[in-house]
Amino acid sequence: MQRETISNMKREEDNMQKVKTLYEINGAVDRIIFRNEQNGYSVIELSVENELVTAVGMMPYISVGENVKLLGNFKSHPTFGEQFTVEACERSMPTTTAAILKYLSSGAIKGIGPSTACKLVERFGEKTLEVIEKNSEELTQIRGITKEKARKISEEFTKLFSIRELMIYLGKYGITPEEAIKIYKIYGQDAVKSINENPYLLCEEPLEISFERADKLAYSLEQPQENVCRIRAGIVYILAHNMNNGHTCLPKDKLLEAAANFLSIDLELAENTLKEVLDDGTLQQDIINEKEFIFTNKMHQIEVYSAGRLLMMLKFPPQKIFGADKYIEAIEKKHKITYAKLQKKAITMALEDGILILTGGPGTGKTTTLNAIIDILEKNGEKVCLAAPTGRAAQRMAAVTGREAKTIHRLLEVQWDTDDKPTFKRNEKNLLECDAIILDELSMVDAALFEGVLRALPLGCRLILVGDSDQLPSVGAGNVLSDLIKSETIPMVELKEIFRQSLESLIVTNAHKIVNGELPELSVRDNDFFFMNVNDPQTIIDTIRDLCTKRLPGTYGYSPLFDIQVIAPGKKGPLGTININKVLQEAINSPSNSKKEININGTIFREGDKVMQIRNNYNIIFAREDGSSGEGVFNGDIGILLTIDKEDSSLVVQFDDKYAKYDLENASDLDLAYAITVHKSQGSEFEAVVMPVYFGAPQLYYRNLLYTAVTRAKSMIVMVGTAWTVKKMVENNKKTRRYSGLCNFLVKGCEN
């Protein structure tokens, strides 16, 4: 192929951007510029009729000297110029002695370097690769190659091509090269046979490929839908899927009904298969309130362990600290305050019982009580650790206590296993170094994270759990705070008295009215709680934009980026976060020649945008202003997008004092954050909150959601919408039902 021909192809590509046309080029791999060993993404130089062409794409385990046929298109890179973007790759082994020598000299096969490659090609010529594969004992004719080394060289060659064949085979069914490598590590050369016999092996740990994809593969292999392997995998999938909805278990009858409907099978067949799954220990069954519930092994172990550990802590408490009255009196005198009766009770119980749940709504003095507890513990020489589930919650905890507070993940020193899953360095074999630990915002802590904390507690450590059970539950599976309270096994104090200074705040008084099922005061205009009656979605949008860009900044000096937060019930619709974010982005951070932009999964991100991390990512590296560094950005962290580097395909986001660098793959974890959902606001506090209240999907408009939104406001909340919607939300006392076992295991443990 001549340069002129390639140039013509490039021009043709430019003229046919709207038509998906794939071009074919053939050549020999001349050089590997870059290769990601994990997923197979490669950048190579291909010799095409005496011309070098740069090709980029998924070409796993490709090596110098190989002959390849590539399908794709020419595209222009801003830095590297014209490149051939690969859609498909077919390989064939080198056949000439020169090509074989180049291939083996590249290090493609472990155990063969340039010197050995020369000797092999000199001895065996064009049959070198055939000898390596089929007659490895002949390799011992080469000086320095023992029988053992010859065997290892042959095994490495076979392994290499087995992985390639597996990738090609599974790639037809949407299995990525990275996933194919994992599959090979588990099943070896029998991978294709194993997957053909039971495609649903892909769903099992550590692969955890989705049931839908495995089912698609099974369908293409013409496996019947009544296949027992399919039913087993489907039952496990339904259970795991419901964990994403917050459940740690499901009633047996509901699970069977869901399985029969989802898999389109008879209920009897689902029931028989479930019995098999329970009999062989794949899933666990337990009785809760005289009803059968089904758990995954992992979740059953989590809740059983947590219950057992708490009961053991109750049985073997830390040494009591006596004289609470004297300590309380001294603090009252020093700070010129008077604790309420329930506050004094909480302080005393924390010192004497060892485990305490401290709960209560806004303005009831939880912080004041906590500070007293910490003060007394420290005076008695105890080391106190403070932690919260999110970065923002930890920051708030540090601000109100005047002491360091960490995220729970940071406290437990999160790290990653071989499957890149988070584990905690702090555990029963490496305990936390503290005498007491205080966990704030416990309503946000899921079952797995709570178990992680309990495993890391040293014997005799005090545990003080702080939260508001009227807040929304955790995003992850479990209902920890509610279960602990409901069990009535853990000492608890609920603060109820609203202090005088808090009574002056309508945010506080209205929050308590809402949680008690009363309509909040909407007519007062001279406090911190404002309601703007607007009965039209577009006018609500216009009002919110005006509040965020003009009224609140102009009247109160609030920063649209750092002080004001729009909180909406849901994501979709004209008053959902997706649309509001577009409107506010345009108003607050409008396009400019000085600001770079990037499109990530259909969302435009611009330098200067307010963004949020929407899931835990433990692999993102960040640097702090003090020169320290670390890993991990967590769900709910809010920051500012500082820079976009298109050449490097990277972003830098500032989260408070952390500067996190994202590649394009990790950047899909970001979302615009001018507006966030109520669920995403948990654990955070904002100077000013603006909230649309206009009726939408009933499942998003209920009392606890409204209460959670109101309590996110530190100094001011402005609701924009209809009083009718507020009334309906207050009246709707629907609480998200969660199936969990912790309460049951605690009660059973006490009875035994």
pTM: 0.80
Helix axes 742-751, 297-315, angle to 10 degrees: 50
Give the largest Cα separation in the chain, rounded: 96
Asked if 258 contacts 238 with a C-beta cutoff of 8 angstroms, the reply is yes
* Per-residue pLDDT at 420: 62
* Per-residue pLDDT at 155: 86
Structure tokens at 706: 């409204």
* Per-residue pLDDT at 38: 66
Q: Amino acid identity of 427?
A: N
CA distance 432 to 456: 6
* Per-residue pLDDT at 403: 94
CA distance 634 to 408: 11
Asked if 293 contacts 286 with a C-beta cutoff of 8 angstroms, the reply is yes
Q: Which residues contact 709 (CB under 8 A, 6 or more apart)?
A: 567, 569, 678, 681, 689, 691, 717
Strands 436-439 vs 384-388: parallel, antiparallel or unpaired: parallel
Kindly write down the DSSP assignment for every residue of 308-370, as one continuous string: HHHHHHHHSPPPP---HHHHHHHHHHHHT----HHHHHHHHHHHHTSEEEEEE-TTS-HHHHH
* Per-residue pLDDT at 4: 42
3 state SS of 156: helix
3 state SS of 52: strand
Ordered mean pLDDT values, 10 residues apiece, the chain (752 residues) = 42 43 86 79 88 87 84 81 84 82 83 90 91 89 90 84 78 78 85 91 88 91 92 95 93 96 95 96 94 96 97 94 93 92 95 94 91 96 94 88 92 78 90 96 94 96 94 90 96 88 85 93 89 95 97 95 95 94 96 90 92 85 86 85 86 91 87 95 91 84 92 95 94 85 93 73
Structure tokens at 232: 């087993």
Strands 610-613 vs 670-672: parallel, antiparallel or unpaired: antiparallel
Q: Of 213, 632, 244, whose CA–CA distance to 420 is shortest?
A: 632
Exposure b/e, 141-156, CB count within 10 A at least 16 = b: eeeebeeebbebbbeb
Positive/negative CA dihedral, 409, 410, 415, 420: positive
Angle, alpha carbons 704-706-712 (nearest 5°): 100
